[in-house]
Amino acid sequence: MRGLLKKGLLLLRENGVEIPGCVLDEDIDRILDALERYIAEIELFNPAYKLVGTSDRKELIIKHILDSLSGVGVINRFASLRAAHSCAGIKVNIADAGSGAGLPGIPLALSMPRCHFTLIERMGRRAGFLHNTLAALGVQNATVEEQEIEKAAPNRFNIITFRAFKPLDRHTLKSLFRLLTPDGVLTAYKGRKNAIEKEIALLKASFKISPFRESEAVAGWETIRVFTPFLEEERHIVVIPRGSAP
């Protein structure tokens, strides 16, 4: 399956993910080797820890690894904006909320070495898996925080990302907003646009939307189509600025 994974990474690069600061724009074999070791760790511990809902390697590669990397371009765009306005030497801090198996946090951390990732996971066994996996892969720009999102220390992250397969709700968003810096953004992995529009309409009814002011302005919430190689399903990243908090 190495060929499938490598072809997927090359397709991501060809489809606009080659952004400065992302290793997909450099030596692709380095991330390929690390991702193969990561896949092996998931497959080893998945029967006991229920990390992902599949035992099929092809599905794991497409629906979890490559899908996690589909958001690199969007997330790196906002990371670049944050880095441009921070002090020299200060890394952009990104959290993967409810990290589980480390998706999307670990693939993103491998791809974006100039940013620091915090994998927030409340379940002890899964947090242990994340600790062991980061050590096994030699990932230097990621740490694990075994904590409920509601109890995590506030105002720390420039970006929070998460794969939101369930509909977003007001309580979850308020908990995540609390962890962001004042100019921070949420980047939620979502599916079909029509389902997203219905979801956002319900949420917007209870949130005051204000502009995200930056050199590249984003007015309110933004739904961005992303490309996942070999996946026919629609995939989007929904960008939600902290400025839209009530």
Peptide bond into 104 cis (omega under 30): yes
- State the total domains in the chain: 1
Which of 183, 188, 238 lies closest to 213, judged by CA? 183
Supply the CATH number for residue 199's domain: 3.40.50.150
- Containing domain of residue 106, as a range? 2-244
Which pLDDT does position 217 carry in this prediction?
32
Q: Which two tokens stand for residue 186?
A: 């949420």
Which pLDDT does position 243 carry in this prediction?
72
Q: Is the dihedral of CA 220, 210, 21, 4 positive or negative?
A: negative
Q: What are phi and psi of 157, to 5 degrees?
A: -115, 135
Which pLDDT does position 83 carry in this prediction?
75
Which pLDDT does position 46 carry in this prediction?
97
What's the CA dihedral at 232, 62, 60, 107 to 10 degrees?
-140
Order of all β-strands in the sheet with 236-241: 142-146, 115-121, 92-97, 157-163, 180-190, 236-241, 222-225
Q: What string of pLDDT tens digits covers the 246 residues of the chain?
A: 789 999 999 898 887 654 555 666 667 888 999 999 999 999 999 999 999 999 999 999 999 999 999 999 999 988 988 776 665 556 899 999 999 999 999 999 999 998 999 999 999 999 999 999 999 999 999 999 999 999 999 999 999 999 977 788 888 888 999 999 998 999 999 999 999 988 887 777 766 554 433 323 334 788 999 999 999 999 999 999 987 654
